[in-house]
Amino acid sequence: MRKFKYQTYLDQLKVPCPPVDYEERETIAYRWVFDPVVENESFLPQYFKNEERFVEADDIVKCNAIGLSFFISETTAKAKYGRFLERSKKLARSLGTHLASGTLKKEMGVNGLANEKGHFTFHPYIDAQLHKYFRIICEL
């Protein structure tokens, strides 16, 4: 069985993480990133940006936060970002300043199906180098 990038954190959870219904899928995906697109800034899970925020969270929330957020289309990614902008420009800018698109390949990790708002969570394998497969398409 392949190891995930954040396996030591996933192993501490009391729920299966990634969830058992997550699968290796090849899909076009969209993600908020920073310019330039580098691994440790644009592909760092929310959990590691502020671990204290998740101390009281249940393990399902932690599992999602250890994964990476992606969207199925430019439209759904921009819509969600717009909702963050309405709440706080500072918050939105902390999540990314640009929109990138790329292909998540099966050998990179596993993800669940997108929700009704076009969002899905991806758990990368230890050797995934996502920044090499995503290109900026516009500023947010």
pLDDT in tens, 100-135: 999 999 999 999 999 999 999 999 999 999 999 999
Predicted local confidence at residue 131, as pLDDT: 95
Whole-prediction pTM: 0.94
Domain hosting residue 83, numbered range: 7-139
Look at the chain and report how many structural domains it folds into: 1
Cα-Cα-Cα-Cα dihedral sign, residues 21, 24, 26, 32: positive
Residue 104 included in any domain: yes
Task: Name the β-bridge partners of 71.
Answer: 30, 119
2 domain residue, yes or no: no
Which CATH number goes with the domain that contains 57? 3.20.170
Q: What is the pLDDT of residues 50-68, one digit of tens each?
A: 999 999 999 999 999 999 9
